[in-house]
Structure formats: structure tokens, C-alpha cells
Structure 1
């Protein structure tokens, strides 16, 4: 029995919970948001500016807050100020994210060559 199958049996729901969590973490923007918040608390507009290509609509922090990865702190000031920061759970994503990025860097040449070869065959 694989480790994944064992984990699914422990959860008792066929892996639905694990898939839902991985869907959030592997979302197109989540790891970029986590990496951007790694060393600093940021306001929404500052976070938006630091992530190239993300739209304001796409930059939804509510789900990351709901999942306990990001905290939201509102300050009773005029004008109102809201800052976002990683929680300890969110910070715990940094090492595996760096490991995945390192893997991508180590294998990029092979992957690009494989893609080019595939495209040549597919024509």
C-alpha cells in the first residue's frame, strides 16, 4: 500500500480532504502569495504590486485566510488599513515550496527538451 493510499484510508474520505488542500496550495497564485508574504506583512495594494500578472480579482486572500495560511489584521484608522501576513502554517509552506522550485530549476532543461521533442512528434 502506498503512503498516499494509507493517508487516504486514515482520513476515511477517499482523499477528498487532501485533494482540496493540495488544490488550494497548487493554485496558480498561492505559492507566489506565500513567497511574497514570507518576510513581511503587506497591505493588499502592496501585495498586488509585488506579484506580476495577478489581477485584483484573482488576488483573493479570503480562502487563504479561511484555510489558516494568511492572517488579516484590520486597523481602526482613517483611512482604514488592513495588512496580511503568513501564519505559522503558511510559513511552514516555505521549505516545501523552495524544494519544488529547486526541483524545477534542476530539471528545467530536460523538461524543455522533452516538450520540444513532443511538439516535433505531434506535428
Structure 2
């Protein structure tokens, strides 16, 4: 059963400008492992975290670092969740999180589907 769906899009150039203008934003939004990725990948990961927040019902107090986008050996993205994100997912009965990322033509996008 579907427990939640979220989608988000990010303008890659605008996102990169924001990261350059506010360097602390990188540490606030991304785990250490995520931070070294190129701008398009960071924008897609930010879109994924936004989409996850929407799918979870935009819970108050959700910590950005409690959701990390990692890649399986196949290259497919997946979420590793902990802390505030894990607590919310457990509260609404999430058993599985599906995430799809894309970036093309200056836009990064992500879709998240939660299964219970």
C-alpha cells in the first residue's frame, strides 16, 4: 500500500549559486559523503530530500542530515534514514522507500514513493 508520494524539482544553476553564496548550507543539507558530489548530483539529492519530506507529510523538526541518498552497487539511488526521518517513517508505517533521481537541461528532479 502507498503511504506517501513526493516530487520536487531544482534549478541546478540557482542551487549551485546558493551553495556558493552560503557555504554553510552544504553542511546543513548534506552528509559528509554527499558533500563531495558535483552540483547536479547535489541538486538531485536536495530534490530527493524535499520529495521525501513531502511524502512524509512535511513533519516539523525533520533534520536534513537524517536522510542520506546513497547508491547501491548497481548505481541505483536509495535512502538511508535515521533519527527524525526514521521516527516519522516508523510512525506512519513505512516499510520501503523508493527514490528516482534525474538531472538534465539544467533541472534536477526526484520522486519518492513510500510503501507501508
Work out whether the TM-score is over 0.5: no
TM class by shorter chain equals: under 0.3
Which has a greater percent of helix?
1
TM-score between the two structures when normalised by the length of structure 2: 0.25
Q: Which has the higher contact order (CA 8 A, sep 6+)?
A: 2
Point out the structure with max Rg over C-alpha: 1
